[in-house]
Structure 1
């Protein structure tokens, strides 16, 4: 399906939404993006897998990255797109083809921005990190991502969300001794022992650090529990999976040290970990961007790929159309007005002399 980058951002979003691009099936949409951008003489394009990078090379004093992922979660009876005049409904409208449409419009129609821009339209964000297009570009052609500042077009209700919290998942295990349930006193019930794990979680007091004037809210929660052998056996093992969402002033090692101390006396095994990202609002390009959008900034409580940019030494924020609470939901939609606001805001910031 051909993309008309001169079309209104709403129409472009609808076209993108109607190109199915569930994770690992992004070839068609990346082909369409490449076909639309490659002929533009003010951009240099590079394709890596199903990720397309398009760069201006004007010799400006600053370079910014504007990035958005092309993939979606699986369909849930929510295609094709539907425009009711106020909202555009459908899979990916919010997460995040609305943001991609904004970035594509800017890439096509701003040939002479005041900042050099690297646009990245990437694959594999919704699944395991091994498939993430940003990670692949950083590994294969790291110079393509060099910049002073980055904007990830994740849905943020058209308000800047700075940085992001890190995430750590651990399995906390209580152990016991098996016995027949008719002679339970001959064993030690690990499920009962796990009650202490749950009691500690219930008494947890969230840490609320303030970073760059933004208050982050940490969370420590049980998300899975697994135990039991049979209905007539006293279990000897019960594992509680715990997710710790930690503020970006803590490293992954510091987060793990906190969790191990919190669950002292229990076996703790890490199953997944990703660092947070500091806001970086003191960087000139970031400060100028915040001023351009009216000065309002919120902390980002979830994890996003801004952390990848932080790992590369590039301060980053989230800014895109749509309510992040609607991501992955069947009733996903994006407000039409937010599509236009995001485009006009970025156009003003990139185009002002």
Structure 2
């Protein structure tokens, strides 16, 4: 992501220094905390910096190593991979990401009563109650849900479980956290409502005390692939990146969830240097593709504001 930010800055500096006339304004929105709570994007949106946007370029990594393209038939069918590889003159295959899932983070807390492990009847086991909830949550996520025509089904993952104080005590507190990649067909608000219904039912049982707390609830982003901006970015991308440049949707979120929150028709293109090594040891950015993206960004800005 840092390379994408730098590429945008360099593209803007070069356009400025070249005194290129632009019929409009380019804004650089540099944010913090994108990986967790998107507080930077929240702040900029709340302060009105996104109010007048008519198109949004998000410079998140949008490529894969060509070897990964060839070796992942589940994600890239063989025929598709072969066509892309044949047209690609670089080290990486990049995609124009026009849609991505939303992101819902929540915590469910079970409150019990601590007691000595030799007298468990005097306590209330919070872990047992949390597991009872977790089983119901799993049933809910395993059932069939409304399917979005682009983003498909939701993607839920229970990410953390904590409980208990020490080995010789009945646990009086336990909690789990979960992240759900949501879609327009099943939003974060609907998931929260459904899970709270399960909790309300379980809380009817004696001594059961469960509570759901929303940590983060970002909407999905879904641009119209036929929007003139998306079409222009795709055409310019194919030229500047020396490859076929197909559209794609992904499960991972970006700051666009906030920046486009009050403008659902805003065309969003997630395109940038970087590949499928994100968050891995030895994460890297291909130098050739990085330099190509600077020219790519400049060409998109010039085309949109001509």
Q: Tell me the TM-score normalized by structure 1.
A: 0.60
Match of 2:278 in 1: 326
Match of 1:9 in 2: none
Match of 1:149 in 2: 55
**Counterpart secondary structure, 2:222:** coil
Which of 250, 274, 282 is the equivalent residue of 2:218? Answer: 274
CA contact (8 A) 1:209 1:216 kept: yes
Measured on the aligned residues, the alpha-carbon RMSD in Å equals 3.3
Equivalent-residue separation in structure 1 for 2:257 and 2:193 (angstroms): 20
Which of 229, 235, 245 is the equivalent residue of 1:285? Answer: 229
- The offset of 1:120, in angstroms, is 0.6
Show CA shifts across 1:17-52 (max 9, x none): xxxxxxxxxxxxxxxxxxxxxxxxxxxxxxxxxxxx
Q: Which moved more, 1:190-199 or 1:232-241?
A: 190-199
- The offset of 1:351, in angstroms, is 4.3
Q: Does the alignment pair 1:231 with 2:167?
A: yes
Equivalent-residue separation in structure 1 for 2:44 and 2:256 (angstroms): 15
Show CA shifts across 1:293-325 (max 9, x none): 355111132221111232231331211110264
Which of 302, 307, 313 is the equivalent residue of 2:252? Answer: 302
Relative to total residues, which structure has the larger strand share, 1 or 2? 1
CA contact (8 A) 2:104 2:179 kept: yes
Q: Does the alignment pair 1:178 with 2:122?
A: no
Which of 128, 133, 148 is the equivalent residue of 1:210? Answer: 148
Equivalent-residue separation in structure 2 for 1:108 and 1:259 (angstroms): 55
Show CA shifts across 1:234-253 (max 9, x none): 12331111222212444442
Equivalent-residue separation in structure 1 for 2:121 and 2:110 (angstroms): 18
Match of 1:111 in 2: 20
Q: Which moved more, 1:191-200 or 1:314-323?
A: 191-200
Match of 1:97 in 2: 6
Show CA shifts across 1:262-284 (max 9, x none): 55524212222222222233432
Aligned length: 256
CA contact (8 A) 1:163 1:300 kept: yes
Match of 1:124 in 2: 32
Equivalent-residue separation in structure 2 for 1:345 and 1:130 (angstroms): 26
Equivalent-residue separation in structure 1 for 2:278 and 2:38 (angstroms): 25
Q: Tell me the TM-score normalized by structure 2.
A: 0.68
Pair 1:258–1:318, CA change in 2 (3 A): farther
CA contact (8 A) 2:60 2:273 kept: yes
